A and B are shown apart, each in its own frame.
Chain A
Amino acid sequence: MNFFNYIIRRVLLLIVVLIGVTLIIFALLTLFSPEQRASAFIKDIKQLSDINSIIKTYGLDKPVYVQYYNWLRQIFRGNFGWSTTVSRTVLDAFRFFLPNTVELAIFSAPLIILGGIWLGTLSAVHRDKPVDHFSRFLAIVGWSLPTFWFGLILLMVFYGYFRGLFPPEILGYEAQAYVGSAEFVRYTKINTIDALLNGKLWIFVDAIRHLVLPVITLTVIQIALVMRIMRSSMLEALGKGYVLTARAKGAAPKTVIKRHARRNALIPVVTVSGWLFAQLMVGVVITETIFNRKGLGWWWAHAATQLDIPAVLMAVMFNGVLFVVTNLIVDILYAYIDPRVRLG
């Protein structure tokens, strides 16, 4: 089987999984009463007062398979319903909240991945030395820390004690007002990037100050996973014959670690990166809630407590698609790097 066939097979499997995801979401939807379900079909606020006609139009009192078909048709037309928590359509709200979450991910993902790789390598090279013990301890504590509690403690120290050094939310009042004004061109809607593109350094600094605590919270919790995988795969690589050969040929220890062992040890880290993204989104829900950063996670968490069904379903769908697509990309990359996968 060649590379092309491999990709086709993967894409077909992806479609099966995505259909399954819609089935799960629809199964969730059927747990609600028709009146509650109707909100998943609403396109604008005026329809809120006319729930009965929606039930009739979309056949919410009809058999399940008819309902599934109707619901799927709405999804393909881009109608995800009305989110009562933010009084917008789900699609609008998604477009509104996405940039803030992407910004958080842009700043934390490199820290998590590079930091984890660095710590894992260090730990493996100095196996059973103090550095190793320390970083393993750090990893296991990070793994056990309740994200929500850690964030609150950071808030207590950096917002309370160092009065407003790293404030919650997204921007300060002045920056918020300026960003909303006509002078500020929103290219990407991501504050830090837009600030740089507009050449306003003070807005950039303000946005970064609001980002520090959420990024730290996410990083401390997530870095443990990367570190662990990197450490164990690095240990395995260091025990391989080619490392011994390289050493025997007299290559410098640093070269052996960096070019012979670490390059090969990176492969398992690549394979979990899809999973890592999923975990990052989970962390985002908690982090954004604590620091009151109005992003996707904040929206979903509020939606869950206020029975805002369409928004919660959107959360499930978005995460399903994100996970499946990132995994597809990772698998293709993996097959590209490692021929054993696509031929096996």
Chain B
Amino acid sequence: MNFIKKRRIVIDFEQHPRLKEFQFSFHKILKNPLSLTGLALIFVFFMIAVFAPIIAQPQYEHEPFRIPHEGYSVIPSPPGPGHPFGTTTKQYDIFYGVIWGTRTAFRIGFMVVGSILIIGVIIGSISGYFGGIVDEVLMRIVDIFMSLPLFILAMALVTALGRSLDNIMKSLIIVGWPIYARTIRSSILTLREEDFVKAAKALGAGTLKIIFKHVLPNAIYPVLILASLDIGAMVLTAAALSFLGLGAQEGYADWGQMVSLARNYIVGPQGQPFLYWYVVTIPGLFILFFVLGCNLLGDALRDIFDRKLRRK
């Protein structure tokens, strides 16, 4: 009696296989110095974003993303009291800009990648599960989108929609989903023929139940990897579009725009070539480290979730 009870307790503590796999993944991230660096970088940026109102207090109560500026002098002033990172052209405070820019970056990354993930998964699932003419039509649309470079198409779309940060995000969503749809579709195509799906069908499970319970949980990993690698890429693309002058109105806390504002102050006057170093360097470093963190983490996730490499 006692023996059976003991066994039952052991069974109760036995973890769900998915939870176990997750723990294994987490353990692998912590073991690899590169992915740990990525995790640490993202954690720091996350903290900056969360505590932005405390680190840099907004001057305009209802518009926290508006960078405060004193006066309109176009010549940047160096780091000093009140302006830890100095001010850029037109006296916008660089410190305030990069701190609140972190929130902008997170917003761009998660909004864009989250939306294209959802759209891609829905369209890919429909295409992969139903096949036939639906699949053919959807995949030709994907082909067409994928034959155009994302950046150029997004640039054209922003031109058409009008320049603003929201339109940059919209454009990236419109041009970004096809690759997700294709990835999900191809993994569903292979899964559809697997025995466990056939078994579920034989047991009388409905189409929706098969898709959501049996196919998607197994098909989602490649797309999640893609998404984690894409967050950095999307932030970078949005920054580049902002830099070209297609982003938010001047004075909005956005890293790409801050680099763009620095453009006239790259090279200092004769004899002092690095006089305005802070204007371009600081916002650029924020972009670099943010994207680097995302990429390192995404890279680690790819190695971990790749079936071929996972147990090596």
Report the Cα distance A301→B148, complex, angstroms.
16
| Total interface residues in chain A, CB < 8 Å | 53
Inter-subunit contact B156/A313 (CB<8 Å): yes
Report the Cα distance A1→B116, complex, angstroms.
38
Report the Cα distance A13→B266, complex, angstroms.
48
B225 CB to nearest chain A CB (Å): 14
Contact flag A316-B295 (CB < 8 Å), given A21-B147, A301-B244: no
Across the interface, B292 reaches (CB within 8 A) one of A31, A141, A155, A286, namely A141
Tell which of B76-84, B181-189, B274-282 binds the partner. Answer: B274-282
Inter-subunit contact A305/B280 (CB<8 Å): no
Report the Cα distance A203→B159, complex, angstroms.
38
Give A308-320 as 1s and 0s: 1 = Cβ < 8 Å from B's Cβ atoms: 0100110110011
Contact flag A304-B149 (CB < 8 Å), given A17-B144, A160-B266: no
Inter-subunit contact B284/A156 (CB<8 Å): no
B232: nearest residue on chain A (CB-CB)? A144
Inter-subunit contact A282/B149 (CB<8 Å): yes
Inter-subunit contact B159/A146 (CB<8 Å): no
Inter-subunit contact B148/A156 (CB<8 Å): no
Does residue B152 face the partner (Cβ distance < 8 Å to A)? yes
Does residue B259 face the partner (Cβ distance < 8 Å to A)? yes
Contact flag A153-B280 (CB < 8 Å), given A21-B144, A24-B148, A304-B244: yes
Inter-subunit contact A319/B163 (CB<8 Å): no
A-B contact count (CB 8 A): 149
Inter-subunit contact B144/A152 (CB<8 Å): no
Which residues in B have their C-beta under 8 angstroms from that of A300? Answer: 152, 155
Give A1-39 as 1s and 0s: 1 = Cβ < 8 Å from B's Cβ atoms: 000000000000100110011011000100110000000
Does residue A279 face the partner (Cβ distance < 8 Å to B)? yes
Give A264-294 as 1s and 0s: 1 = Cβ < 8 Å from B's Cβ atoms: 0000000000000011011001100100000
A50 CB to nearest chain B CB (Å): 24
Inter-subunit contact B243/A148 (CB<8 Å): yes
Contact flag A156-B244 (CB < 8 Å), given A28-B160, A149-B259, A282-B151: no
Inter-subunit contact B144/A304 (CB<8 Å): no
Inter-subunit contact B148/A304 (CB<8 Å): no
Q: List 9 extra interface pairs beyond A28-B156, A156-B277, CB under 8 A.
A: A28-B160, A32-B160, A144-B291, A146-B256, A152-B262, A155-B267, A156-B273, A300-B155, A304-B155
